[in-house]
Structure 1
């Protein structure tokens, strides 16, 4: 499986040597990872230094380099100019896609996200019926803002009545920030590798957001991060430590059901989903490979009692 490499220690130097990303401190090599095994590079330590070859070699492999702020949320991401062989054609199709098509894609994304929220809620002992009902009510473009209605019910039920999602806060919010950073990197890589432009979103359109499409396409997977954060909180983890980061990085290996009944790790399922979005832009037909339930959530729901 592709590895998420996280740099959190100050004073490290990153370089490339014979197909490996090397990590050194004080002139002494501390570790190395094969470039072809890297799925994303996430940098938290502000004292990190690197050679230009790190940017070049990872970009050649469509590997996103994510730079994070003190709240563990991404502040920058390096996106490769050259990627998929059909990049130019797909970007033209993406730009030419009509608003009705985008609104239909967004309807499917929101519906899938709400259903996934219900799955996670049910795995925690709740009743998912309300989420299934809301998911069926989503219309083209979500004019009724079903996404927000589901979110209000979801956050209170899972994280407590006093919880408020705040990117600048610590505790559970900081853990969520980091988990979403991992997810955003995974989705961004697939966007780049598929030949789509990450700035041209379907729903998110903030002109300051260079990864609007990534933010759109990661929505159905967000509840999976929430599930992992809840498990960490249950175990008493309230800070983004090295152990917490390693746990959240395993998100990429989480097994998900595919529409055809097969099972794939999240990193592979994301690739299929993003490719299906590109195909929608090219053909004008809605046929999305949206994620199904995580296997461990299904197992939790089916357990007696």
Structure 2
């Protein structure tokens, strides 16, 4: 599978349809854009009054693509996912559902350790000491009973964003940028989870009954730091709102290169491998089967500047 595109619909009163292998965007029955359906990994709808045809939803589902609907704060409100994601879906979903608490807790530990190490890498690339984050990562126990994740967050945000910053999903500025970036990354994670034959609502840690993205919210954890790193770069370029420039930059995140043990790959392929090996862990009962990418280097993070239009 090649690199897929994130299609963002941000203009009101657009109509989305499928025609001869293309996603067609039109306004008052006049076409204003088209994208090959085979290139679409996710469609994110932010605008009001947007309509779409059933044919389009079916065409997206047949290709394993997702449609994500966002609220006014740029956080996801609903998602449309394909039913068939993988030839081994039934067995994988059964193993996912039947996974015992010990396995789920070990998987969550691995995800939290990776998240904290990625946060440390982002801080180090921005001139801050990451020693405390290495120490915190080593302290994470199975299931993170001491909530080291939250302890790391309390250190992380003031260092990265300044002492006055508070993470608020309903706030504007940097918070709105983070909401949008996480929505893009969450769509990619949901897409990868479904493609791996797993159900996105059955998480290893995130288990709120009303959360249709629970497993995607588990998988996203290490990758959130990439959104954070790009956000502070956007702000440094005086982009403080969810503008078209910001949206293009976040959509480009999944194409950024990461160094893995077996060579260079993209963020999108790293997310796919995370989801595939998570499925393997559910089936084997071994948390060690989960493969997570190593924290990005300062050089890899510096490449994020290339996503920002000048």
Query: Gaps spanning 5+ residues in structure 2: where?
Result: 303-310
Q: CA deviation at 1:298?
A: 5.1
Counterpart CA distance in 2 for 1:6 and 1:167 is 20
Which residue does the alignment assign to 1:60? 62
Structure 1 residues 125 and 9, CA, compared in 2 at 3 Å: closer, same or farther? same
Q: CA deviation at 1:151?
A: 0.3
Q: CA deviation at 1:295?
A: 4.8
Show CA shifts across 1:247-281 (max 9, x none): 111111111122x2411110011000110000000
Which residue does the alignment assign to 2:306? none
Matched ranges for 1:18-167 at <5 A: 18-167=20-169
Counterpart CA distance in 2 for 1:43 and 1:221 is 22
Matched ranges for 1:224-303 at <5 A: 224-258=226-260, 260-285=261-286, 286-297=288-299
Structure 1 residues 299 and 266, CA, compared in 2 at 3 Å: closer, same or farther? closer
Structure 1: 4+ residue segments shifted above 4 A: 295-300
Structure 1 residues 136 and 298, CA, compared in 2 at 3 Å: closer, same or farther? farther
Counterpart CA distance in 2 for 1:292 and 1:29 is 43
Q: Is residue 24–residue 33 contact of structure 2 (8 Å, CA) maintained in 1?
A: yes
Q: CA deviation at 1:96?
A: 1.2
SS in structure 2 of the partner of residue 203 of structure 1:
coil
User: Which region of structure 1 is more displaced relative to structure 2, 85-94 or 283-292?
Assistant: 283-292
Counterpart CA distance in 2 for 1:153 and 1:297 is 23
SS in structure 2 of the partner of residue 67 of structure 1:
strand
Query: Gaps spanning 5+ residues in structure 1: where?
Result: 301-305
Cα RMSD of the aligned pairs, angstroms, is 1.1
Q: Is residue 19–residue 34 contact of structure 1 (8 Å, CA) maintained in 2?
A: yes
Counterpart CA distance in 2 for 1:261 and 1:128 is 26
SS in structure 1 of the partner of residue 107 of structure 2:
helix
Structure 1 residues 96 and 245, CA, compared in 2 at 3 Å: closer, same or farther? same
Q: Is residue 60–residue 83 contact of structure 1 (8 Å, CA) maintained in 2?
A: no
SS in structure 1 of the partner of residue 289 of structure 2:
coil
Show CA shifts across 1:82-128 (max 9, x none): 22111000001111111100100111100000000000000000111
Structure 1 residues 154 and 199, CA, compared in 2 at 3 Å: closer, same or farther? same
TM-score (structure 1 length as normaliser): 0.96
Q: Is residue 192–residue 271 contact of structure 2 (8 Å, CA) maintained in 1?
A: yes
SS in structure 2 of the partner of residue 179 of structure 1:
helix
SS in structure 2 of the partner of residue 4 of structure 1:
strand
Q: Is residue 255–residue 295 contact of structure 1 (8 Å, CA) maintained in 2?
A: no
TM-score (structure 2 length as normaliser): 0.94
Counterpart CA distance in 2 for 1:26 and 1:296 is 47
SS in structure 1 of the partner of residue 25 of structure 2:
strand
SS in structure 1 of the partner of residue 79 of structure 2:
strand
Matched ranges for 1:170-249 at <5 A: 170-249=172-251
Counterpart CA distance in 1 for 2:293 and 2:231 is 19
Counterpart CA distance in 1 for 2:186 and 2:300 is 24
Which residue does the alignment assign to 1:303? none
